[in-house]
Amino acid sequence: MDWSTALQATMPELVLSVGALALMLVAAWGGQRSTRMVSWTAIAVLIGAGISLAGPASYAGVVFDGLYRADAFAAFAKVLIYVAAAVSIVIAPRFFARGDGDGLHPEYPVLILLAVAGMGMMVSAGDMLTLYVGLELNSLAAYVLASFMRRDQRSAEAGLKYFVLGALASGILLYGISLVYGFSGTTLFPGIATAYAASHSLGLTFGLVFVFAGLAFKMSAVPFHMWTPDVYEGAPTPVTTFFASAPKVAAVALGVRVAIDAMGPAIADWRQIVIFASLASIIFGAVAAIGQRNIKRLLAYSSINNVGFLLVGLAAGTQAGVSSVLLYLLIYVAMTLGSFLVVLQMRDANGDPVESIDSMAGLSVTRPGLAAAMAIFMFSLAGIPPLLGFFAKLAVFQAAVQAGLFPLAVAGFVGSVIGAYYYLRVIKVMYFDAAAPAYQRSRDTAVEYAILTVMALFISPVGWFALKPIGVWTAAAAKALF
């Protein structure tokens, strides 16, 4: 394949990289006063990257001698990542405008763009080294974002914890990659798949275990979840919104590509790991969230719980299973963005963010629209029909049953029932508890409310009209891996 086609295939990452570097220079020269312009230009860059996905080169297949995959699967994941990143930029200015010297800086959207460029490399990786470079670009930007509020002790602590544990996970992943390379003789996914098909050596098995352990950390799957609650709570809420959506999509999509493309012949080995991580994440995420009093920590355990359901679809190892994972990811991103948009509206009379669930008491009286939106997201996360969260869980359970994993589907269903408790508790607080002091209203929330309304309508029965085209889209994306 010629270089022109290869460069066109990587156009989304080129647009993001060039845009990020240009905006970094603008931020350096313009200083704080350039923040608004840099933010909106960053959103334009994300839109440009999304438009570049529409060209035929984005489905060119293998380019750069197998290092990069331009296919429908990668395009699907990138669309979700770009949407989540754009929302995370849009909602940031009002949160950071607190007058304590830690306002929004122009570096924030630049870091988002760099992280998104890394995620694009992750979901399009056709080689272990491409995978690692993309993952590290994403991680290095994420560490800075977590500690973006330099004068806030919780934010600094979140960044430090994320960095230390992230470095450990990167080391585990790199060790696994070195083992796979040592026993297969290649870092390209097709060559690795050939090695697993020809031999089940102990070295390749250990490499598989370490690679999946490193990826599990990025997904925040049990038992590599320990960073998630502390980082979600300590990081600024727009950053937490970003962490809970875009990187989650990238990590899960990367895990799916590695499992199917690189280690497909070893499905009997990695399926055991995925099933364990799935059940552990579902059960732990459900049980640990019950005692939480901070809404961001509760949503952190909710994300761990949802990763468990995503892994149910991956455990199937079939095209239907991958399709169900992609459907779940799309609906999960909408539910997560909507939930955190509600959290952003939680401010006391002084305008300071409030995160306790008790402060939501009587929200149905003081802010009925906000309560209704949060109720939709909580019911959907619990998997209660007729909301789209129910169809997401139904899809992964059906894929597991079709693959002969009936006990896993039953266990996942039981775990879903347990997890429904803490979602319903939030609704109970909003609708049945005595009203707490009302949240402060702001005039600068039109864009936030518009996004919140779109997400709530999509998750509601109105979203049924989109299920058929989404199903066609996810099936085409999943087919690209087979």
- Tell whether 387 is covered by a domain: yes
Q: Is residue 284 part of a domain?
A: yes
482: which residues sit within 8 A by CB, 6+ positions away?
Answer: 260, 319, 322
Number of structural domains (the chain) is 1
Which residues, in sequence order, are CB contacts of 40 under 8 Å at separation 6+? none
The pLDDT value given to residue 102: 57
Q: What is the pLDDT of residue 340?
A: 92
- Distance separating alpha carbons of residues 140 and 110, to the nearest angstrom: 13
Provide the phi-psi class of 317: left if phi over 0, else alpha when psi is between -120 and 50, else beta: left
By C-alpha distance, which of 135, 39, 151, 26 is closest to 87?
39
Q: Residue 232's pLDDT is what?
A: 87
In SS3 terms, the chain reads as: CCHHHHHHHCHHHHHHHHHHHHHHHHHHHHHHHHHHHHHHHHHHHHHHHHHHCCCHHHHCEEEHHHCEEECHHHHHHHHHHHHHHHHHHHCHHHHHCCCCCCCCCCHHHHHHHHHHHHHHHHHCECEHHHHHHHHHHHHHHHHHHHCCCCCCHHHHHHHHHHHHHHHHHHHHHHHHHHHHHHHHCCCEHHHHHHHHHHCCCHHHHHHHHHHHHHHHHHHCCCCCCCCHHHHHHHCCHHHHHHHHHHHHHHHHHHHHHHHHHHCHHHHHHHHHHHHHHHHHHHHHHHHHHCCCCEHHHHHHHHHHHHHHHHHHHHHHCCHHHHHHHHHHHHHHHHHHHHHHHHHHCCECCCCCECCEHHHHCCHHHHCHHHHHHHHHHHHHHCCCCCCHHHHHHHHHHHHHHHCCCHHHHHHHHHHHHHHHHHHHHHHHHHHHCCCCCCCCCCCCCHHHHHHHHHHHHHHCHHHHHHHHHHHHHHHHHHHCCC
Q: Which pLDDT belongs to residue 133?
A: 92
> Is 337 among the domain residues?
yes
pLDDT tens digit at each of 482 positions of the chain: 577 777 888 889 999 999 999 999 998 888 888 888 998 999 999 999 999 888 777 777 888 888 888 889 999 999 999 999 999 999 888 888 764 445 678 888 999 999 999 999 999 998 999 999 999 999 999 888 888 877 777 778 888 888 888 888 889 999 999 999 999 889 899 999 999 888 778 888 898 899 999 899 888 888 888 888 888 888 888 999 999 999 999 999 999 999 998 888 888 888 999 999 999 999 998 888 888 888 998 999 999 999 999 999 999 989 999 999 999 999 999 999 999 999 988 888 777 788 888 888 888 888 888 899 999 999 999 888 899 999 999 999 999 999 888 999 998 888 888 888 888 989 998 888 887 787 877 776 788 889 999 999 999 899 889 889 999 999 999 998 88
15: in domain: no
What pLDDT score was predicted for residue 400? 92
- CA atoms of 156 and 127, how far apart (whole Å): 34
Give a yes or no: residue 249 inside a domain. Answer: no
Which residues fall within 8 angstroms of residue 446, CB to CB, at 6 or more apart? none
The pLDDT value given to residue 470:
92
Q: Measure Cα distances from 398 to 264, 309, 325 in Å.
A: 21, 12, 11
Is 192 within the bounds of a domain? no
Domain assignment of residue 403, given as a range: 278-482
pLDDT for position 101: 45
**Does a structural domain hold residue 306?**
yes
Inside any domain, residue 322: yes
